[in-house]
A and B are shown apart, each in its own frame.
Chain A
Amino acid sequence: MKNVGLISALIYTGISLTAAGVFLGITLAGNYTWVARIGGTAWVFLLAMIVLMPVVMPLVKKRYRS
């Protein structure tokens, strides 16, 4: 079960970081302040984590069990 937790954490954190990175990348191309860029990146990362954690964990658990 520990493996499930670790694998899940790696997946949802990875996807969230990617989403936040994409957000930051887009803002770098535009005319935004650093507060907006960093604040926005943090908010996107937080919401992405909240959305992904409950989705990824059962999926990984299911796959692990099967």
Chain B
Amino acid sequence: MESKGLNKVSISLSIGDMTCVSCVSHVEEALKGVTGVRNVVVNLATGKATVEYDPAQASLTAMKKAVDDIGYEVVLTTANLKVSGMTCASCVANIQKAVGDLPGVFSVVVNLATGGARVEYEPGITPISEIKKAIKDLGYQVEEQAPGQDLLDREREARQREIQRQRLNLIISWSVGMLVMLGTFQPYWFFPKILPEWMNNKVFLFFLTTPIVFGPGRQFFIKSWNGLRRGLTDMNLLYATGIGAAYLIAVVNTFWPDAGFGGKEATFYEAAALLTAFIILGRYLEAVTRGRTSEAIRRLMKLQPKRARVIRDGQEVEIPAEEVQIGDLLAVRPGETIPVDGLVLEGYSSVDQSMLTGESIPLEKKAGDEVIGGTINKTGAFKFRATRVGKDTALAQIIKLVEDAQTTKAPIQKLADQVAGHFILGVHALSLIVFLFWFFVGYGLWFVPESRLILTPYLLTGMGVFGFALLTSVTVLVISCPCAVGLATPSAIMAGSGKGAEYGILFKGADAMESTARIDVVIFDKTGTLTRGQPSVTDVVVTGQMTQNEVLRWAAVAEKNSEHPLGEAIVRGARERGLEPEAATEFNAIPGHGVEAKLNTSSILLGNRKLMAERRIFMDGLASEAERLETEGKTAMFVAVNGAPAGIVAVADTLKETSAQAVKELHRMGITVAMITGDNRRTAEAIARQVGIDRVLAEVLPEDKANEVKKLQAEGLRVAMVGDGINDAPALAQADVGIAIGSGTDVAKETGHVILVKDDLLDVVAALQISRQTLRLIKQNLFWAFGYNTVSIPIGAGVLYPFFAQMVSPELAALLMATSSISVTLNTMRMRGYIPPIRRHGKSLAPAPGGA
């Protein structure tokens, strides 16, 4: 709600995380500290803060920051909008500016490639209708995105409409434009023999060109005017001024030939017509590219099953998949798509999960196994219980992650957008300078009446100073257009994130993808990441006071309640030897050291050297044995019973089969590989030697892993941390890129910037390769988009004219401009056929797009 007085506005903000009265006072104080805030009343029960403030001094951003800074949260509404009619980076900048300037909008991110806009706003200040109106006022169509299949259909329809519209414009402008060109060339070469003379009649050409300029070309005039009256410039303005000026010169020379614009011999109708045609060709190609690059999302959305077979009262009933509830019993037959996530209750089958995990071999499923909605049942039939439905299914989460990644901006794109935004202004300023130069200086010094426009029949004989300077000025406008810049980065990001999703590699945002590509060091957590995480007892060393079985039994008693993998290994090892450990009467885990426990009156201590030293238990007699075991890569755990040394239990984990290959490949890519573990240095180094790791961070307590990452970052290195998303969460968050491996299907809960669905270290390599390829693609695209401008602007401005007496015509400028769009489009398309090198010859090859 919002009410206004004289320089005073009252709003109601939703505040999250408030639990008590002191929270109320904290929030009130924080908000009162914002300059311009007059009065604050916070209501704990409703979770609302009513704020009276002066909008000239205080902003929603400042209020949100003040609340966020003290640990609470201003709950904002997020709207996902579908914007159509955007054509370039300037459109993005304009919408972001127009919406961002609205008082209740906190953030707005617009993506040209997806045609999507995500707005974080306070509806009490600015309702969604006002946001939509601001976008519509700029001349774009906007609608709120609907979830799921409906969204897919609407998106596809909107995209098809845009493509069809531009295709129609293309057909009109090219068919009529070719007639205009033939008419213009009628007196030259062999054309007089095949074309009638009236085709060169200027009035006839006027009647052909006018519908092109005001038909297909109309969009540029309308959009540039909509922007301009709000003080915003975009690429449409370049087109509009270019087409408009070329057309005006032609009209003046047709009806007022003595006006000094070059006369009837310089009616550039074909310039206006072909300029429009080439620009529309560029538009059409961009619309098609946008459609193609979001194919990954569309392919994932297509996997969403429409029907489900639910068992009710013992009967199979077919219902829409979205109506399945958690707990429903479902039946799946061979060849059918599994409708939702669930747990198999009975039956046996193999399921193709390649479309979600990239795993090419179908997995066997039996009672107790998890199945994922959207995957395909291959051979048998089974029944399962639905555990996750709707937006909580793995498929829905993956779609959301990929969508989120595609709606965010990579840092490189922010820079490109900024440059493109200023570029338009710069081009108009340059065009003005070029005009003044040729008007006052260039024409008098270098104009040669016998000179001509490149690839046209025109001699510039009758061209006056104004006509010549204007022509050069217009050419600069047209040739400078950075229209490919808007697509260069987002189209590559979309293609890259889509490619990642094909292999079960999910990037949480474009910035994650760019950071991944720039990584210097990859740190692997040892247990469960490099190793299988299922260690087993290998050796039991005794002091002579007890037998091996006794030592193992005491160790198992201490660890019986432990959830640590090493503890579980000891208990398992004891049971394998026929020993059933009793439950300890007291148990205490000492993180990074070991455990202490009591069984009736006996005390047991199990852990590393540090623990024994702290408790003043001297293990001197066992030290050499411990060293030997550790050199072999085993973890030696000392056992003390009732304060006396009892022995050592050695446990070893086995390396995953792909660990060494992944490390080798990372080395080949020039990346330093490190391993982090709580194990002592000797054991850690033994493991590191086996896989070929360069750097070992040993004896690191779980809570210190993030600090170790920080230390490497302090050396100026960009660090990726690979671990499981739960235990290693702080280190994953601290790293430049946190890679959560083997997350399975619950991807939304994972910490980390990159989520690997499969538990395969080669996917770490694949993630790096895909991100590097994407960044390479972005750089190439930006080169084509900006590099072309760098070369062509001086030519358009006439630097060659004093030497060769040749000028670039506006239509040739438009052709060159369209070339940059075509280059970017074709370059991005290359990503479709890209296979990460590690998967080209690896054991599991890439699945065909779309899975089975």
Q: Is B425 an interface residue (CB 8 A)?
A: yes
- Asked if residues A36 and B440 are in contact (CB atoms below 8 Å), the reply is no
**Most chain B CB within a 10 A radius of its CB, from A8, A48, A54:** A54
With contacts A50-B241, A57-B231 taken as known, whether A36 is within 8 angstroms of B429 at the C-beta atoms is no
B466 touches A40 (CB 8 A): yes
Answer whether residue A55 sits at the interface, using C-beta atoms and an 8 A cutoff: yes
B241 proximity list for chain A (CB < 8 A): 46, 50
Interface residue B465 (Cβ < 8 Å from any Cβ of A): yes
In the bound complex, residues from chain A placing their C-beta under 8 Å from that of B261 are 35, 39
Which candidate, B431-439, B555-563, B761-769, B799-807, is the interface stretch facing chain A?
B431-439
* A2 interfacial by beta-carbon distance below 8 Å: no
B529 at the interface (CB under 8 A from A): no
When distances are taken between beta carbons in the complex, the residues of chain A under 8 Å from B428 are: 47, 50-51
Residues of B within 8 A of A43 (CB): 245, 435, 470, 473
Query: When the two chains form the complex, which single residue of A23, A33, A57 contacts B260, counting CB atoms closer than 8 Å?
Result: A33
- Determine if B464 and A36 form an interchain contact, defined as CB atoms under 8 angstroms apart: yes
Name A61's closest neighbour in chain B (CB-CB). B101
Q: How far is the CB of A46 from chain B (nearest CB, A)?
A: 8
Is the CB–CB distance between A36 and B56 below 8 Å?
A: no
Instruction: State which of A26, A40, A50, A64 has its C-beta within 8 Å of the C-beta of B237.
Output: A50
B128: Cβ under 8 A from any A Cβ: no
| Structural contact, B440 and A26, CB atoms closer than 8 A | yes
Interface size range on A against B: 20 to 34
**Per-residue interface assignment for chain B, residues 47 to 60, with 1 indicating a CB less than 8 Å from any chain A CB and 0 otherwise:** 00000000010000
Q: Is the CB of B429 within 8 A of A51?
A: yes
**Cβ-defined partner of A39 (8 Å) among B56, B440, B470:** B470
Interface residues of B in 407-449 (CB under 8 A from A): 425, 428-429, 431-432, 435-436, 439-440
Most buried by B among A23, A30, A39, A58: A39
Residues of A within 8 A of B237 (CB): 50
- Which of chain B's residues has its CB closest to A19's CB? B432
Which residues of chain B are within 8 angstroms of A40 by Cβ–Cβ distance?
435, 439, 466, 469
Check B435 against A54 for contact (C-beta < 8 Å): no
Residues A1-57 near B (CB distance < 8 A): 8, 23, 26, 30, 32-33, 35-36, 39-40, 43-44, 46-48, 50-51, 53-57
Contact (A51, B231) CB under 8 Å given A33-B464, A36-B464, A43-B470: no
When distances are taken between beta carbons in the complex, the residues of chain B under 8 Å from A50 are 228, 233, 237, 241, 428
Docked Cα-Cα span, A66 to B260, in Å, equals 50
Q: Is the CB of A47 within 8 A of B432?
A: yes
Chain A contacts for B440, CB-based, 8 A: 26, 30
Q: A44 to B232: give the CA distance in the assembly, Å.
A: 19
Assembly CA distance A46 to B259 (angstroms):
20
Is the Cβ of A53 less than 8 Å from the Cβ of B228?
A: yes
Residues of A within 8 A of B469 (CB): 40
Q: Tell me whether B260 and A36 are in contact (CB under 8 A).
A: yes
- Identity of the chain A residue whose Cβ is nearest the Cβ of B473 in the assembled complex: A43
Docked complex Cα distance between A47 and B56 (Å): 33
A23→B473 CA distance, assembly (Å): 16
Q: Are A65 and B56 in contact (CB under 8 A)?
A: yes
CA A26 – CA B231 in complex, angstroms? 29
With both beta carbons as reference points, the residue of chain A lying nearest to B440 in the complex is identified as: A26
In the assembled complex, the CB of B562 is this many whole angstroms from the nearest CB of chain A, namely 61
**Contact B259 A35, beta carbon cutoff 8 Å:** yes
Indicate the member of A26, A35, A55, A64 with the most B CB atoms within 10 Å.
A35
Tell me, rounded to whole Å, the shortest Cβ–Cβ distance linking A8 to chain B. Answer: 7
Residues of A within 8 A of B228 (CB): 50, 53
Which of chain A's residues has its CB closest to B429's CB? Answer: A51
User: Within the assembled complex, what's the spacing in Å between the Cα atoms of A53 and B228?
Assistant: 8
Across-interface contacts of B435 in A (CB, < 8 A):
40, 43-44, 47
Q: Separation in Å of the B93 CB from the closest CB of chain A?
A: 10
A23 — which chain B residues lie within 8 A by C-beta? 436
| Beta-carbon contacts under 8 Å, B749-763 to A | none
In the complex, A40 Cα to B429 Cα: how many Å?
15
Q: Name which residue of chain A comes closest to B260, CB basis.
A: A35
Instruction: Determine the chain B residues whose CB is within 8 A of the CB of A26 once the complex forms.
Output: 440
Interface residues of B in 203-253 (CB under 8 A from A): 228, 231-233, 237, 241, 245
A-contact 0/1 string along B446-476, CB 8 Å cutoff: 0000000000000000001110011001000
Query: Smallest Cβ distance from B258 to chain A, in angstroms?
Result: 9
The answer to whether A35 and B432 have CB atoms under 8 Å apart is no
Q: Which of B431, B439, B466 contacts A35 (CB 8 A)?
A: B466
Q: A26-B440, A51-B425, A51-B428 are in contact. Are A8 and B473 (CB under 8 A)?
A: no
A32 to B432, CA, bound (A): 19
Report the Cα distance A56→B228, complex, angstroms: 12
Residue of B nearest to A38 (CB): B466
Cβ contact within 8 Å between A55 and B425: yes
CA distance A43 to B231 in the complex (A): 19
CB proximity of B238 to chain A, nearest CB, Å: 10
Which residue of the partner chain A has the closest CB to B101?
A61
The CA of A4 and the CA of B469, in the complex, are separated in Å by 35
Min Cβ gap A25→B in Å is 12
Interchain CB contact under 8 A, A44 and B432: yes
Select from chain B the residue with minimum beta-carbon distance to A36. Answer: B466
Q: A64 contacts which chain B residues (CB < 8 A)? A: 56
Closest to A35 in B: B260
Asked whether, in the complex, the Cβ of A54 is within 8 Å of the Cβ of B231, the reply is yes
- Closest B residue, CB atoms, query A32: B465
The 10 closest A-B pairs by CB, nearest first: A57-B231, A36-B466, A35-B260, A47-B432, A39-B466, A53-B231, A50-B428, A35-B259, A33-B260, A51-B428
8 residue pairs bridging A and B, Cβ less than 8 Å apart: A8-B231, A35-B464, A36-B465, A36-B466, A43-B473, A50-B237, A51-B432, A54-B425
What residues make up the interface of B, taking CB atoms closer than 8 Å to A? 56, 228, 231-233, 237, 241, 245, 259-261, 425, 428-429, 431-432, 435-436, 439-440, 464-466, 469-470, 473
Binding site for B on A (CB under 8 A): 8, 23, 26, 30, 32-33, 35-36, 39-40, 43-44, 46-48, 50-51, 53-58, 64-65
4 more A-B residue pairs beyond the given contacts A32-B465, A33-B464, A35-B259, with a C-beta to C-beta distance below 8 A: A35-B261, A35-B466, A40-B435, A58-B231
